[in-house]
């Protein structure tokens, strides 16, 4: 399948992507680039990957027609239930795939960076499953803020290394992980979204594409058609959106809506709406759109949801934005909290705060009669209960 939304040989989506890495890291990146497609497309990988997704993760995740939500908004709204996956979100689709690739490359040690700890937990989980050594880099500030996930990672056997430089958050953890990777080229760097140097964005998108692959046949069973009219997903780095969009990107009849976190308001100074506030630059080894100051230094983003609190978007999303193939919308903290309560009251499903941003654009859209809408329910809200309860008070 040839698509203009797949990267070219050098890892570019239009002007975005590439691999901007220090020379010392080049052999690591090259090794992965030379092997990842062949591994992913091999029958052996596909069998192991599909088997683990079924027996361990619990796939296929249901495509649920949310009747009361549909009634309220006047459309057929289907929820792709990634929240029902083992560990509670879509992130495990990616880490299962990457751990199998790491094993095929003969790696015995895995490193990862994490902000909220969700990707760290998904990484520590698959390392426990495979008996691999796991080190997770995490900002010192995030270690304090995300104590329950730190405890989960430790119980799963991971070593947590605090990043004490800069703002002591995700971008600093990423810098530490890259520094460690340079010094230990025998390790495999498991990135948690469609970001980083080529081939990571493409590799992660291919591993999350199981979401849209399932949506196709599930919709066929339910509606007789393999395509919806609209797909909505939230965007931090962009992996759950990439997975939900993947098989539909070339079909212009399918409307793609990406929802970013506006924090306290897009222009409030406390926001993570990257496409609206960002400019072209280089972050984590790829050319994309990112929030930066006049010196090109990364600006600290803000969102109530830790998973959307990221200063860039992956290169595929920068291209979807620039080419206008996807519509970029955003939702504030408050709109997301309201949407989370609405889904809980109407459907008995508590979504993750990240996911709630995707739900929050429903009141801003107008639907035609019988419009079929799929919302990617990227994760469950158990981790966010404290925030939800605080909002009630």
Instruction: By CB under 6 A, name the binding residues for ligand PLP.
Output: 89, 91, 118, 193, 234-240, 307-308, 352, 354-355, 378-379
Length of the chain counted residue by residue: 393
- Distance separating alpha carbons of residues 121 and 95, to the nearest angstrom: 10
Nearer Cβ to ligand PLP, position 18 or 196? 196
Nearer Cβ to ligand PLP, position 339 or 352? 352
Catalytic residue among 33, 82, 113, 335: 113
- Distance separating alpha carbons of residues 72 and 216, to the nearest angstrom: 25
- Distance separating alpha carbons of residues 373 and 376, to the nearest angstrom: 10
Nearer Cβ to ligand PLP, position 118 or 125? 118
Q: How many CB atoms lie within 10 A of CB 108?
A: 13
Residue 91 falls in the annotated catalytic set? yes
231 — alpha (psi -120 to 50), left (phi > 0) or beta?
beta
Nearer Cβ to ligand PLP, position 97 or 236? 236
**Closest separation between CB of residue 195 and ligand PLP, Å?**
8
Residue 390 falls in the annotated catalytic set? no
**Concatenated DSSP letters for 107-139?**
--EEEEEESSSHHHHHHHHHHHHHT-EEEEEEE
**Closest separation between CB of residue 309 and ligand PLP, Å?**
9
- Distance separating alpha carbons of residues 58 and 287, to the nearest angstrom: 35
Catalytic residue among 91, 107, 287, 383: 91
Using CA atoms, how far residue 36 sits from 41, 200, 214, 272, in Å, is: 8, 9, 22, 31
Nearer Cβ to ligand PLP, position 91 or 152? 91
Nearer Cβ to ligand PLP, position 76 or 194? 194
Distance between terminal CA atoms of the chain?
52
- Distance separating alpha carbons of residues 54 and 78, to the nearest angstrom: 21
CB-CB contact of 213 with 61 (8 Å): no
Nearest-CB residue for ligand PLP = 379
- Distance separating alpha carbons of residues 360 and 22, to the nearest angstrom: 40
Catalytic residue among 107, 354, 378, 383: 378
**Closest separation between CB of residue 131 and ligand PLP, Å?**
25
**Concatenated DSSP letters for 317-382?**
HHHHHHTTSEEEEEEEHHHHHHHHHHHHHHHS--B-HHHHHHHTTGGG----TT-EEEEEE-BBSG
Residue 270 falls in the annotated catalytic set? no
**Closest separation between CB of residue 227 and ligand PLP, Å?**
22
CB-CB contact of 217 with 179 (8 Å): no
**Closest separation between CB of residue 241 and ligand PLP, Å?**
6
Contacts of 350 (CB under 8 A, 6+ apart): 340, 343, 344, 380, 381, 382, 385, 388
**Closest separation between CB of residue 66 and ligand PLP, Å?**
17
Phi, psi of 202 (to 5 degrees): -70, -40
**Closest separation between CB of residue 114 and ligand PLP, Å?**
9
Nearer Cβ to ligand PLP, position 142 or 354? 354
> Which residues are designated catalytic?
91, 113, 378
């Amino acid at each position: 399948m040839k698509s203009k939304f797949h990267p070219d040989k050098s890892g570019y989506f239009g002007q975005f992507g590439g691999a901007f890495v220090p020379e010392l890291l080049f052999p690591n990146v090259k090794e992965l680039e030379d092997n990842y497609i062949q591994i992913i497309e091999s029958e052996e990988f596909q069998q192991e990957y599909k088997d683990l997704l079924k027996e361990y993760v619990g796939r296929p995740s249901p495509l649920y027609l949310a009747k009361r939500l549909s009634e309220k908004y006047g459309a057929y709204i289907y929820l792709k239930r990634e929240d029902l996956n083992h560990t509670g979100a879509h992130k495990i689709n990616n880490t299962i795939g990457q751990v199998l690739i790491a094993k095929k490359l003969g790696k015995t040690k895995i490193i990862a960076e994490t902000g909220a700890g969700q990707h760290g937990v998904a990484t520590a989980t698959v390392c426990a499953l495979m008996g691999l050594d796991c080190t997770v880099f995490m900002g010192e500030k995030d270690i304090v803020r995300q104590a329950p996930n730190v405890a989960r990672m430790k119980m799963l056997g991971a070593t947590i290394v605090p990043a004490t430089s800069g703002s002591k958050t995700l971008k600093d953890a990423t810098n530490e992980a890259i520094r460690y990777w340079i010094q230990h080229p025998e390790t495999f760097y498991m990135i948690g979204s469609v970001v980083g140097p080529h081939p990571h964005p493409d590799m992660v998108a291919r591993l999350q594409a199981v979401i849209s692959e399932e949506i196709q046949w599930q919709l066929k069973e339910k509606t007789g058609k393999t395509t919806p009219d609209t797909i909505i997903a939230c965007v931090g780095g962009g992996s759950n959106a990439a997975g939900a969009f993947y098989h539909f990107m070339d079909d212009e009849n399918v409307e793609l809506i990406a929802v970013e976190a506006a924090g306290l308001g897009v222009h409030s100074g406390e926001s993570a709406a990257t496409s609206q506030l960002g400019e072209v630059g280089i972050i984590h080894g790829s050319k994309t759109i990112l929030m930066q100051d006049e010196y090109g230094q990364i600006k600290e983003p803000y969102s109530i949801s830790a998973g959307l609190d990221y200063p860039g978007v992956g290169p595929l999303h920068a291209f979807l934005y620039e080419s206008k193939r996807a519509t970029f919308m955003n939702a504030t903290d408050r709109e997301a909290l309201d949407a989370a309560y609405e889904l809980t009251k109407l459907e008995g499903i508590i979504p993750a705060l990240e996911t709630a941003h995707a739900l929050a654009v429903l009141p801003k859209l107008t639907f035609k009669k019988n419009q079929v809408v799929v919302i990617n329910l990227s994760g469950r809200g158990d981790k966010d209960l404290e925030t939800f309860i605080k909002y009630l008070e």
